[in-house]
Amino acid sequence: MPRRLIPLVLAVASLPTALYLQSQAPSQDQSASPASRPTDAQTKISVNSDLVILPVTVKNQFGELVPDLEESDFRVFDNNVEQSVDVFTAEAFPLSLVILIDDDLKSKDAAQMAPTLRAITAGISDNDEAMVCRFDLDFYPGDSFTGDLDKLWADLKSVQDKAGPSTAALAPFVGSPSDHPLGVGEPQQKVPLKSGARPTKALDDAVHSAAALLHDRGLVRRKIILIVSDGVNGPQFNHFTYQDSLQALLHDNISVYSLAVGNGVIKHKFSRLINYSNDSGGDIYYASTSAGIEKVYSQITEEARHEYTLAYVPRGTSSTSTYHRVEVQVSRPAVTVKTRQGYYTTPPPTSSPAGKDRR
């Protein structure tokens, strides 16, 4: 046989085998778009349940994202013990987003916020999913997570139509537990809430409920709660404390991004939003006009999507510790690093024990 025909004969002989192997390949690999296929980093995260996953945001002194850091620029500490990073990536992860809208804003703030809600859809990409929820004294979940922008806009439009002072029943009168004169050493009771006063809100409960919705959304999705609120919270109306809700966030690696609406000068009233955002590794933005609010939505989703992801299996730390404090350092000067403050190894509380101090 002429030598030049040998390669052709071998190629023809191997064709049936190649066709058979192709027919046995999973059909989803043939049809899936490159953007929807899991990356190496996502695969490593999804198959290793022991990994501690840290979304990390790095900004320069101008508040701009720093996109060009390498793994060698980061150091991770778990309970003060330096860790070896097992997964590092700067790739964008798909978002699972709970949009938590304050349903009890002052009329002026609601009028500024309501027309802006459609702008949220501009930050939703093909692989993202979102659910629109509301809260005042109660929590009102959406139907389901969706990536359908038409469905998402319909949900936001429904919230927009309802935006304004709450129509919930007035908050119950809160007074002294008894009418007896104060005894020696008995503390003075706080000023009671007047009957007929404007309702307040249970923000801690709303955050806890939103976190529960994100519990099963998957390790390779960036879990986000976007709170649009004036930050008012009535501790006496919550079944869960701040620490309860924060534990739920940290346990499931959920970051809170807050849009504080209203008078940004009086920032102390936004302290609850600030704490949730900082302690969960998220961020807080302030806006008091419709134009300002619309601009912030895209900034929030852009920041959440383009975080660095560092993951590691804890080494050299106590296996009996139920809470681990985490610190991430970056070698580059003049930058700000944001990540969650730690993680819990035990599940968060699912109900508030009777008689628990709710302050």
Is 328 in contact with 311 (CB distance < 8 Å)? Answer: no
Burial tier of 141 (Cβ tally within 10 Å: 0-12, 13-18, 19+): middle
Residues ≥6 apart with Cβ < 8 Å to 67 = 90, 306
Architecture per CATH, domain 95-167+198-309, reads as 3-Layer(aba) Sandwich (3.40)
- Extract long-range pairs of 284-291: CB within 8 Å, 24+ residues apart: 284/257, 284/258, 284/259, 284/260, 285/257, 285/258, 285/259, 285/260, 286/259, 286/260, 287/259, 287/260, 287/261, 288/109, 288/112, 288/261, 288/262, 288/263, 288/264, 289/112, 290/112, 290/113, 290/115, 290/116
Render each residue's pLDDT in the chain as its tens digit; 359 residues. 554 444 433 443 443 444 333 434 444 444 445 555 778 888 888 877 789 999 999 999 998 999 999 999 999 999 999 999 999 999 988 999 999 999 988 888 888 888 898 889 888 988 999 999 999 999 999 999 999 999 999 999 888 777 655 555 544 444 333 344 444 443 444 444 444 455 579 999 999 999 999 999 988 899 999 999 999 998 889 999 999 999 999 999 999 999 998 865 455 678 999 999 999 999 999 887 888 888 889 889 888 888 999 999 999 988 788 999 999 999 999 999 999 999 998 888 776 543 344 43
- Quick one: tokens of 302? 């852009």
Is 94 in contact with 312 (CB distance < 8 Å)? Answer: no
Domain boundaries, the chain: 95-167+198-309
